[in-house]
Structure 1
Amino acid sequence: MTDRALTSTLLLQAYARGIFPMAESRDDDAVFWVDPHLRGVLPLEAFHISRRLARRIRRGDFRVTVDRAFEDVVRGCADRDTTWISDQIFRLYTELHEAGHAHSVEVWEGEELVGGVYGVAIGGAFFGESMFSRRTDASKVALAYLVSRLREGGFTLLDTQFLTEHLASLGGQEITRAEYRRALAAALERPADFMAQPPEPDVASVLQRSTHTS
């Protein structure tokens, strides 16, 4: 699909149908649609973090914000040898962010952005696109704050697209395409508010929305 054919509106329609775009590389002008047979999801009620990570969050090693540096988070996610985030995809998600459909959670060490996650919200579904980390645990902290925000805002589905070992350690699961479509249909009918939680919530409210493991 060429640059002219793909719009942010079409992108939202694709998410609502259970598919998402990727590019072969940073410099690829075309995108392809992905509809995995097995879909990665992170059940919000099953999200868990280690006691060590919980202690780190309590210590305040990082400061966490929301929608303060969306474009920088996407750039951070694309800052790797191989990436599916092309210039076209970067532009489209920026448009979605400006329209209030795409959001980011940023993790800071002082004034330096050291981690984050971004994705798209439609109804009660949040489609996690990518995350990055420049410090140990920074992406896990971003995800903990994202899960807390989604639970507070009434979301029911956190789509991670694929299941990685990292996500599995935090409670991620794989479900079939049919199971995913049912969960998506239900989530799209549910009203939810990504900004129901304050932009910088207190640590206690974040940790109480996760289970702790050794």
Structure 2
Amino acid sequence: MALTRLPEQAGPSSWDSLPETDPDDPTVSPVVEVSPVVEVSPVAVGGDLIPATLVGAYRRGIFPWPAGDPVVARDMSRRFGAAVADGRIPNLSPDRPATLDLPWWCPDPRGVLPVGAVHMSRSLRKRLRTCGWTTTVDQAFSEVVRGCHRDDEYAWITPGLVDAYVELHLLGWAHSIEVWDGDELVGGLFGVFVGGVCMAESMFHTHTDASKVAMVDCDARFGQAGGRLIDVQIVTAHTRSMGAVEIPRRSFLTILREARDAELRLVCDRLPVSRLVQSEAGTS
């Protein structure tokens, strides 16, 4: 299965009006200078979630992280409203008043998992050897996205974003890894694949370790296809335990620019997860 689509296939983008900053130029911010605390500020607000806007963002290393809860939205407005009003944070919807319920982010530093560097604990390797699970690609994309949805104040996968990612999937930009216990979907992850960089958006599990298995499987399949980097955006305790590290945003954008037009093909067959530890026997 081909993982890449030509940029022009997505259509005109809301990002076309903003210059793409050269990440190798140390005199400017890698995206846009928005405040004295660049790393915690959105790089833009507004716009829409049509495929062209999403693809244009991901190709620049930018991703949507909506304020799904009204309390969070009010806090966003309090913190960044002035910067939006005076133009320090660009508004992708100049024809209407800007709101901060659709902010776009490009954090610095950036959390990444170099392909081939995923860490498997002793217990995870045991799980892989003995659970009997299998994995697939793109067999249950909508179910995986909905499995990643959370019903709390940190929920960012809004219904509109679910629909947007499903549309990206139908167009060949977004993909999922599914973990199966027989015919039961027990975990998975989804993301947007931009050439040699996998923008991993979210994971879920209903059985212990199933989300970790999805990440290990993604690393193996993506690496086999020639992928370079799995983007996890922000390093958490969970992703750090699996080998995620922080790199400067400038470094991330440089790698993305080098790799985003690569043509990759991913093996999509249903495969046993036990294969992922066949070469790991005896290690700890």
Relative to the length of structure 1, the TM-score reads: 0.89
Please give the per-residue CA displacement for 1:39-90, whole angstroms capped at 9, x wherever unaligned.
Answer: 1000112112013211211223423221111111111100342310111111
Question: Aligned AA for 1:15?
Answer: Y
1:38 aligns with 2:112: no
- Structure 1 residue 16, shift from structure 2 partner: 0.7
Give yes or no for contact 2:203–2:211 (8 Å, CA) kept in 1: yes
Question: Could you say which residue in structure 2 is the equivalent of 1:124?
Answer: 196
Cα distance in structure 2, aligned partners of 1:90 and 1:20:
14
Structure holding more strand per residue: 1
Distance in 2 between residues matched to 1:25 and 1:8, nearest whole Å:
20
Where do 1:16-35 residues align within 5 Å?
16-25=59-68, 30-35=101-106
Aligned residues: CA RMSD: 2.3
Alpha-carbon distance between aligned partners in 2 of 1:121 and 1:210, rounded to the nearest angstrom = 27
Distance 1:140-1:213 versus aligned 2 partners, 3 A rule: farther
Where 1:121 maps in the other structure, the secondary structure is: strand
Partners of 2:282 and 2:163 in 1: CA distance: 38
Mapped pair 1:83 → 2:155: yes
* Aligned twin of 1:149: 221
The residue type paired with residue 277 of structure 2 is L
Corresponding residue for residue 243 of structure 2: 171
**Compared with structure 1, are the counterparts of its residues 130 and 213 closer, same or farther at alpha carbon in structure 2 (3 Å cutoff)?**
farther
Whether contact under 8 Å (1:128, 1:159) holds in the other structure is yes
Q: How does 1:61-76 map to 2 (within 5 A)?
A: 61-76=132-147
Question: 2:269 maps to which residue?
Answer: 199
How far apart are 1:23 and its partner, in Å? 0.9
User: What are the equivalent positions in structure 2 for 1:2-17 lying under 5 Å apart?
Assistant: 5-17=48-60
Structure 2 distance, partners of 1:212, 1:89, is 43
Structure 2 equivalent of residue 161 of structure 1: 233
Instruction: Give the structure with higher Rg (CA).
Output: 2
Summarize the Cα distance change of 1:132–1:22 in structure 2 as closer, same or farther, 3 Å threshold.
same
Alignment length (residue pairs): 211
8 Å contact 1:126–1:157 — kept in the other structure? Answer: yes
Once the 2 structures are TM-superposed, how far is the Cα of residue 26 of structure 1 from its aligned partner? 6.3
Paired letter, 1:23: P
> Which amino acid is 1:17 matched to?
R
Cα–Cα, structure 1 residues 119 and 212, in superposed 2: closer, same or farther, change >3 Å?
A: farther
Q: Give the Cα separation in 2 of the matches to 1:143 and 1:106.
A: 10
The answer to whether the Cα contact below 8 Å between 1:48 and 1:213 also exists between their aligned partners in 2 is no
The aligned residue for residue 80 of structure 2 is none
Which range moved further: 5-14 or 158-167?
5-14
Q: In the superposition, relative to structure 1, how do residues 209 and 101 fare at CA in structure 2: closer, same or farther (>3 Å)?
A: farther
8 Å contact kept, 1:43–1:158 = yes
SS in 2 for 1:79: coil
How high is the sequence identity, in percent, across the aligned residues? 41
Is the Cα–Cα contact under 8 Å of residues 111 and 234 in structure 2 kept in the other structure? yes
User: Residue 48 of structure 1 contacts residue 211 of structure 1 at CA under 8 Å; is this kept in 2?
Assistant: no
User: Whole-Å Cα distance in 1 between the matches of residues 121 and 106 of structure 2?
Assistant: 32
Distance 2:103 2:194 in 1: 21
SS of the residue corresponding to residue 116 of structure 2 reads helix
- The unaligned stretches of length 5 or more in structure 2 are 1-44, 74-98
Provide the secondary structure at the position in 1 that maps to 2:208.
coil
Aligned equivalents of 2:256, 2:281: Cα separation in 1? 24
Normalised by the length of structure 2, the TM-score is 0.68
Q: Secondary structure of the residue that 1:45 maps to in structure 2?
A: coil
Q: CA deviation at 1:211?
A: 9.9
Matched, 1:50 2:121: yes
Q: Note closer, same or farther for the CA distance 1:120–1:8 as it changes in structure 2 (3 Å cut).
A: same
